[in-house]
Every structure is written in C-alpha cells, then in structure tokens.
Amino acid sequence: MKKLLFALLLAPLAAFASSELALDQAPDKSNDMAALQHGAQVFVNYCLGCHGASYMRYNRLKDLALSDAQIKDNLLFTADKVGEPMRIAMQRADAKQWFGAAPPDLTVIARARASEAGSGADWLYTYLRTFYRDDSRPTGWNNVVFANVGMPHVLWELQGDQVMGADHKLQLAKPGKLKPEEYDAVVADLVAYLQYMGEPMAQFRKQLGIIVLIFLAVLFVFAYALKREYWKDVH
C-alpha cells in the first residue's frame, strides 16, 4: 500500500519529466573571441531595445579584446559612458502594457534557464531557433520551447518565417536574409555572449582551477618526498 501511494505521488513528476522538450545542444564558443564580439553586437542591435542587462557594464566588453573607442563607437547605444550598465529607457509598466509582461533582464538569463534537460545555453539556442508564425497570438508569433510567448521574433528578418506543419514540425515557409546554417551560427554567437554575461569570469575561474590542480600535484610530489625522507629511519 505504501509503495502504491509513493508511486501515485511521483506520477505527476514523472509525467512532467517525460514531456519535457529535448533541447538542441548549443555550440561551445566560450573561447571564441570573435564569436563573443559578434554576439555582443547582435545583442546590442536586436535585444537591448527591450531587454536590459543592468548587472553588466559596457566596460566589461574590454575583456572581449575591445577598446573603449570600439565600444563607444559601435556598441554604446543606451548610455553615455563606457562604465555605465546596459540599461534601457523603457519603463516596466509600459512594457507590461505593450507585451503583456515586462521583458526580463538578460544578465543572468543563461544561468536562470539551466535545467535537467540541458544547460541554459541549450535552452536559449533552441528557443531562438524555434519561433513560428501563429495568427492566434497578439504578436503573430509563437515558440516551441516557450509556448504562448509574449515576445515577438526579433530575428525574423534573418531567419525568415517558420510555420508549424501538420506533422508538428517546423517548416521554413519564407526564407530570411541568412541561410539556415548561417542563422544558426548567429544565434550560437548571441547565446555565447549571453552565457558570458552570466559569469564573465568563468574562463578565468576554469583556468585558475587548472593551475591550482597542477600546483597541488607538484606540491604532492615534494610533500611525499619530504615525508619519505622524514620517516625513513622510522620505517
């Protein structure tokens, strides 16, 4: 009886897990400086109009091998100084009225969307590639990953118009400016930048961890040699 009750309690969780969408794996571009720079450009041009990144300052882009002049001339659209955060002028009340919900801040969106189905990068990579036309929605768009999403497809000119086929698979009804593989590459660059914003020191942390492990390995050799020398008369 106890086993039966336990199984009934777990049944909804099992059903949820089995119905969770399989995410596409995002290419790892965390060490690709050119991809991160391009991702920052795409973010500023297509995302920053509605989504802020208020915990990210423009001067952090210097970690991507960009100079103050390059940032100011090409990426500084919502601030006057390079040291300012990536904020937007749109008020949350206006955004809620226009879109039904205020667009979230994207500084840590890659970390927030991580789940058992995949990383936050995988979720974003799949999400940005699975918009499709849906006349029943206020914006005219829907999404496979985020059903009934309030956000329109801001990259539609690049990807084109996808529609949901009778087999419940996406089909490209109207090509965009980019070929599908080119669009996927742009999305991968954007996702890499969003992932970078969530933890700008991630690569340094990983490199430091490797250095520490090497140091501990070398230290172990000397410590073991010292131990043998110290205890040789005892053993």
Provide the CATH number for the domain around residue 142.
1.10.760.10
Could you tell me if 150 and 209 lie in one domain? no
Would you say residue 8 lies in a domain?
A: no
- The pLDDT value recorded for residue 20 is 61
pLDDT in tens, 88-121: 878 777 777 777 778 899 999 999 998 766 789 9
pLDDT in tens, 166-178: 998 999 999 999 9
Q: Return the structure tokens found at 225.
A: 């040699």
pLDDT confidence of 218, banded at 50, 70, 90?
Answer: very high
Could you tell me if 217 and 158 lie in one domain? no
- The pLDDT value recorded for residue 163 is 97
Number of independent structural domains in the chain:
2
Would you say residue 228 lies in a domain?
A: yes
Could you tell me if 158 and 210 lie in one domain? no
pLDDT at 18 over 60: no
Could you tell me if 51 and 139 lie in one domain? yes
Percent pLDDT > 90 in the chain is 61
Could you tell me if 112 and 174 lie in one domain? yes
Could you tell me if 75 and 177 lie in one domain? yes
Q: Which residues contact 157 (CB under 8 A, 6 or more apart)?
A: 176, 177
pLDDT confidence of 11, banded at 50, 70, 90?
Answer: very low
Could you tell me if 65 and 132 lie in one domain? yes
Range of the domain at 214: 204-235
Q: Which residues contact 171 (CB under 8 A, 6 or more apart)?
A: 162, 163, 164, 165
Could you tell me if 192 and 144 lie in one domain? yes
User: Which DSSP helix (H) or strand (E) runs through 173?
Assistant: strand 170-175
- The pLDDT value recorded for residue 13 is 37
- The pLDDT value recorded for residue 235 is 58
Alpha carbons 81 and 57: distance in angstroms, whole number: 10
Q: CB atoms < 10 A from the CB of 173, how many?
A: 12
Would you say residue 71 lies in a domain?
A: yes
Given a contact cutoff of 8 angstroms between Cβ atoms, the answer to whether 83 and 58 are in contact is: yes
Could you tell me if 223 and 171 lie in one domain? no
pLDDT in tens, 149-205: 989 999 999 999 999 999 989 999 999 999 999 999 999 999 999 999 998 877 777
